[in-house]
Amino acid sequence: HIQVVDLDTIALSNLNRQFLFRRHHLGQSKAKVAAQAVAKPGVQIIPHFANIKDGERFPLAFFRSFDLVLNALDNLDARRHVNDICLTARIPLVESGTAGYFGQTSVIIPGQTECFDCQPKEAPKTFAIC
């Protein structure tokens, strides 16, 4: 049981750095196209074309319904939000994201490892170069 949440649509610049999207997907929901691209019999994938920070649509109970949360965000505010929710819900988080050409991944287990925001993050000095 997998749920994919993304507020974005597929842009031309996505095609040279994403392996799930093709030119005919331009303008479509990233979550929906990704879910369709990896669909397999017996695996339930539910796409959400939405903002993960929408507390009415994605309340604490939504997060508590999972055994694990995987992040792949380029928005620092959204990354902090998901980190806070996972800490509150006591759900392990595999936190990953990008800033320009740099990427990082860490496993966050509430009460056992350092959280995403435990060490202050430097404010970005440049815009993403996607």
What is the Cα–Cα distance from 124 to 126, expressed in whole angstroms?
6
Using only C-alpha atoms, the chain has a radius of gyration, in whole angstroms, of 15
Amino acid sitting at position 24: H
What is the Cα–Cα distance from 107 to 96, expressed in whole angstroms?
9
86 is catalytic: no
Q: Look up residue 36 and give its two tokens.
A: 């369709």
Q: Which of 86, 115, 118, 130 is catalytic?
A: 130
Residues carrying an active site annotation = 130
